[in-house]
Amino acid sequence: MLTFSYARTEITLIVLVGGAATAVGAYWLHGWALIPLLLTLALLSFYRDPPRRPPPDDDLILAPADGKVVEVTRGVGGDDGGGSVLRIMIFLAVHNVHVNRSPCAGRVTEVTHRRGEFVNALKADADVRNECHQITLTPRPPLPGPIGVRQIAGVLARRIVCTARTGDELHAGQRFGMIKLGSRTEVCLPEDARWQVCVTVGDRVKAGRTVLARFDSGARKEGV
């Protein structure tokens, strides 16, 4: 399944050019036509969008992107200065699915875009230097909010697609955008002792399927 919603132009161009190159290669070069065919399939695979069925529980934070967890930090300051957060960062390699999905059900209260650089997404300061889009969600109970999801550009990711708009109601695992080529996606949760983090650095995750954290609403809040 391909993500025509976010990359109709790119997919159409790849099919037309790749198909023409393969046809010409087959007519003139015979077996060498396999090269443009494989290149076409490889490019199309970048825009794949496999179906995902999220877990049914309403106390979960799901991965917003496919990739590898590169940071899990508690008690760090949020970018907006609104207090400490639990931050989980995912690095998306070129071969990963790049469609972003909502980590939980909730209402979009803000969508912001920050211009920036396009340094390698593997660099530690890429999250503060690079161009990004962020959506802020007010989640459905029992999850506390606000919850931020940030799409961060990389050295090759020069286009971020974000279709979420203020006022939208998203369900857990719902598609809301795409980052084209290698990049990062970040989730920021309001710091609370009741978050049970379910991943560690190095784990591979799937958008809309892998549980990043669970909120234990039955536990006492730290300091209460």
Question: What residues are labeled active site?
Answer: 183
**Structure-token pair, residue 156:** 């090759």
Numbers of helices and strands, H then E, in the chain: 3, 14
Burial class (CB in 10 A: 0-12, 13-18, 19+), 21: middle
Dmax (CA) of the chain: 76
Could you give the CA distance from residue 213 to residue 219 in angstroms, rounded to a whole number?
A: 15
Q: Are 63 and 134 in contact (CB under 8 A)?
A: no
